[in-house]
Amino acid sequence: MGKHVVIIGAGAGGASAAAEAKRTDPSLSIAMIEQRSEVSVAA
């Protein structure tokens, strides 16, 4: 069974942490939890 990562907050910091974790170990299973129904996006 692989490793699982849970990231609290789906803003820019959470997305950056998820991307870095996946680059470091592509086999990770990542879940992001956000309080609001929309995920923050930036241009």
For 38, half-sphere exposure in the C-beta direction (CA atoms, 13 angstrom radius) is 3
Q: What is the pLDDT of residues 9-32, one digit of tens each?
A: 888 888 899 999 999 999 999 999
Distance of CA 31 to the CA centre of its chain: 6
Residue 40: what pLDDT?
Answer: 67
Instruction: Report the distance separating Cα 41 and Cα 24, nearest Å.
Output: 23
Q: What tokens does 13 get?
A: 């910091």
18 by DSSP, 3-state: which? helix
pTM: 0.76
